[in-house]
Amino acid sequence: MQTAANPLMPIPGAIDPVPVPRAVTPREDGRVDLMGLSRPQIKGALEEAGLDQKQAKLRSKQLFHWLYHRGETDFDAMTDLAKPMRGWMAERFVVGRPQVVEAQVSSDGTRKWLLRSDDGQDYEMVFIPDADRGTLCVSSQVGCTLNCRFCHTGTMRLVRNLTPGEIVGQVMLARDALGEWPKGNMSSGNGASANDDEADDASQYSPDGRMLTNIVMMGMGEPLYNFDHVRDALKVVMDGDGLALSKRRITLSTSGVVPMMARAGEEIGVNLAVSLHAVTKDVRDELVPLNRKYGIEELLQACADYPGANNARRITFEYVMIRDKNDSDEDARELVRLLRHYKLPAKVNLIPFNPWPGTDYECSTPERIRRFSDIVFEGGISAPVRTPRGRDIMAACGQLKSASEKKSRAELDRLAAEKQAALG
């Protein structure tokens, strides 16, 4: 319910207006969840609970280390805190994790988790293991503001933004499940364990033995319509005294929320991926209806202006391959022309369309995808074809959706029309 203390979510239009969730969600037991809080925020919470400034500063540094470097959830295990202090904290605070409703593993090793928040909202995250990296696909919203027609998540209504704690919590939960906290200091309340086999398996991914090496903000939702919470969460993830994930290993994906792109570069500074998917107005209007608000030329100029983009940190353009829709030789040549015209340091990820119940689209043939890729490569732009991962558990790109109910084509069209009317 909307209240004066909770303003409407800053998204265009008035569809499904909901209150912005507070950074710290009140719990029934009155305790404060520290998950997702920065050191200054932890210090503020400790002061509010009664510690003086000097004590709060010291304890916030200790807590930050235990929470984000060691993955600890149990105050009793925080051994550099005096026992009375541990009890004092346990009475007033908690270190939360998302509730796991369902965990699935694909035949190709991809893992998908259906998660549930304290207020009963469901969202998903996916871990994709590769030979030289492990990528966690993180959600930023419950549902989605947008209505990209090829995307299963786009058929959902937006419910609300995820909080910084819920975003960071996905990373923490993945580390729990992969057994990636320092041995002997594993969280005692989250069900995670690190056995020798897991540690041996992890060593193949990165020098420090971690399987989770990269994060992509490509799960449910449009990250730039939850900018403040995404920014604050990623700053916690990048903090060198905690999770310490380099900004070069984090990619934020947007469908083209042009006014927020420069801020993303300046205030977050991570890699940028743009869901392009078409090179003509008519086709992109259909596939990514946000194009009617921010057109291709405006979007590409914002990419050219993106802070920090260069040949060493190229912008990734995501391009889903849909049969007889956006996969012709002419489309490939126009893609090359556009990227060269705006002098973009770019690479193109060609994504075979991943089907889902109710879609009218089909994936381009392997031969057509190869031909498209060859043309872009010949134009001097890298255009690898992404191997679909997790299709058998609906974990592939464009397949995420927390609810399993089916919608009729008329219902999908009606929802898409409502969202587009709100976007203007």
- Gyration radius of the chain over CA positions: 22
Spatial distance between the Cα atoms of 233 and 171, rounded to a whole number of angstroms: 10
Q: Kindly report the three-state secondary structure assignment for every residue of 364-375.
A: CCHHHHHHHHHH
Spatial distance between the Cα atoms of 262 and 311, rounded to a whole number of angstroms: 18
414 to each of 127, 147, 155, 373, 410, how far by Cα in Å?
33, 11, 10, 35, 6
Spatial distance between the Cα atoms of 79 and 102, rounded to a whole number of angstroms: 33
Q: Which of 400, 337, 388 is nearest to 364 (CA)?
A: 388
327 half-sphere exposure, CB direction, 13 A CA radius: 22
User: Residue 228 corresponds to which amino acid?
Assistant: D
Spell out the alpha helix ranges (H) of 268-365.
281-287, 296-304, 329-341
**CB pairs under 8 A, 24+ apart, for 333-341?**
333/375, 333/379, 334/279, 334/280, 335/276, 335/279, 335/376, 336/375, 336/376, 336/379, 336/380, 336/381, 338/279, 338/296, 338/300, 339/300, 339/381, 340/379, 340/380, 340/381, 341/300
Q: Are 124 and 112 in contact (CB under 8 A)?
A: yes
Active site residues: 124, 397
Q: Are 226 and 236 in contact (CB under 8 A)?
A: no
Rounded to the nearest angstrom, the gap between the alpha carbon of residue 151 and the centroid of all alpha carbons in its chain is 15
Q: Are 320 and 397 in contact (CB under 8 A)?
A: yes
Spatial distance between the Cα atoms of 187 and 94, rounded to a whole number of angstroms: 13
Q: What is the dihedral of CA 113, 117, 122, 126, to 10 degrees?
A: -30
Q: Are 247 and 166 in contact (CB under 8 A)?
A: no
